[in-house]
Structure 1
């Protein structure tokens, strides 16, 4: 029985040590090493190898990141459990980034950055956090963790999800019928949706038009969810005041893409939340133990939903 690690060697060394210590009966192989295909029960990767079909006894496919859209679940045999990465390092980093992004947009940091470039000292009107409504598109583990960290700042908090959910202190909306009401009451929109057929292109001109004039966007979901042309139009027209993106499509953007130099835009290179190998290894080990005990792993993907 073997575990196959398909990622960089430095991370692999950490996983190798952890599995040798915690699961000594499980053979560890890096993707560059020779392994008998029928031995492989567990595979950790970002992109699914082209020859994955040769692992006829594969039982669990782990994503090294929080997303699984790159797996194309419909192409994988039903016997294989697909598992997204849920580990403390990813959660903490996303909490930090969302707090940073919301406060950056709330306190007009983009406007002050632009003024600094012109040598202009000019204060803007301050808005209290209690008067700035923050809304989350998506209410999964990462969104709920980010909401928890934002709570002390006293922003009015709301969230929209595909299915009905309840979170204390958060105005929760769900389904297509309630999306408009959610958007009309949101001043800073945080997108933390998984990428599915339903969410691809969801951040479009129609959605932006439902936000209040002067709203701001913090996008930490997936690049294909955003219509970048519609965002530029919304920023140029003044309907949106500012945006901060950690994901784009493609990644990176072409060198001459207009978003790079847009004065109302901050772009970071998909660094909001990065898997930490030590805590990720412990998460994978725990899920293997759960699997062996006949329990579902933490982060198990619902194939009907795509996340």
Structure 2
């Protein structure tokens, strides 16, 4: 009997229209992929993105799993109609993109590249940057993405430390946890990268108190979630010079409103949520593997813990 897979993210359907049915067939999975569900009770799997029109999962009584296309699930995890297992997207292409973005912007600030690229006054400034081993980089969030980025920066000889909400052991990266560990991890940091999920515990984790712990003139990179940073506190720290520059890829409201002060601030770089994008070629492999697992009665990959929020 053929499975019914409801692809409920119409804005990216063109990327999957041919690829998903083709790869399902190659995997030996007999499935009809539909973009409308006239009878929700016959749907076996839902492929989902948080901004999709689908918000009420109640009619999908036969659905075995909701398979996310994005790593973030904060906009769906609290949906009370969602009783089906929820899986988030973890894919090598997401990791690779994030590592490239974090490494590139870390090196940009470490080397002071802006000083040379934006030099219309033709100032001859032979100031040499410190070596990477003299820079403390704090990675807030040591999940799959944070750990990969931390290891990439450590491979470049940065002095990398990590922080996680729960205790973790990462080879070669000293990793702290808890409130006391957070202060230790942030103290004197030259660069801070935020790669935490958005939860009540992580919202505004970079507030005035924590920004003050960084080395004066430190750099902040946020490719994680917009609400991880207290915007007002960050702007104040930028104006005072406590923060030398902030490179931000995610925001509380997206697209970032045209009148938001981040756009005009000389010490802020805005990138349009491009640090890590879901590539269809990689995502399809994860989606199909989870469908195969569910049909075989095996544990699902990347199952969301509703209590933790990710």
Structures share fold, TM-score greater than 0.5? yes
Distance 1:153 1:109, change over 3 A: same
Partner of 1:86: 90
2:44 and 2:121 map into 1 onto residues whose CA distance is 59
1:205 — aligned with what?
208
Which residue does 2:248 correspond to in 1?
245
| Partner residue in 1 for 2:20 | 15
The residue number in structure 1 matching 2:69 is 64
**Shift in CA distance, 294/44, structure 1 to aligned 2, threshold 3 Å:** same
1:25 aligns with 2:27: no
Cα distance in 2 between the residues matched to 1:22 and 1:35: 26
Pick closer, same or farther for the CA change 1:248–1:34 going to 2, 3 Å.
closer
Q: What displacement does 1:295 show? A: 2.6
How many correspondences in the alignment?
303
SS at match of 1:134: strand
Gaps spanning 5+ residues in structure 2: where? none
Kindly tell me: are residues 20 and 117 of structure 1, through their superposed partners in 2, closer, same or farther at Cα, counting changes over 3 Å? farther
Shift of the 294–24 alpha-carbon distance from structure 1 to 2, 3 Å rule, reads closer
SS in 2 for 1:70: coil
Instruction: State whether structure 2 residue 85 is matched by structure 1 residue 73.
Output: no
User: 1:295 and 1:108 mapped to 2: Cα distance?
Assistant: 50
CA distance in 1, matches of 2:252, 2:78: 21
69-78 vs 221-230, which moves further: 69-78
| 5+ residue gaps, structure 1 | none
- Alpha-carbon distance in structure 1 between the residues aligned to 2:151 and 2:287: 25
Q: TM-score, with normalisation over the residues of structure 1?
A: 0.93
Whether 1:3 aligns to 2:40 is no
Alignment pair present for 1:169 and 2:175: no
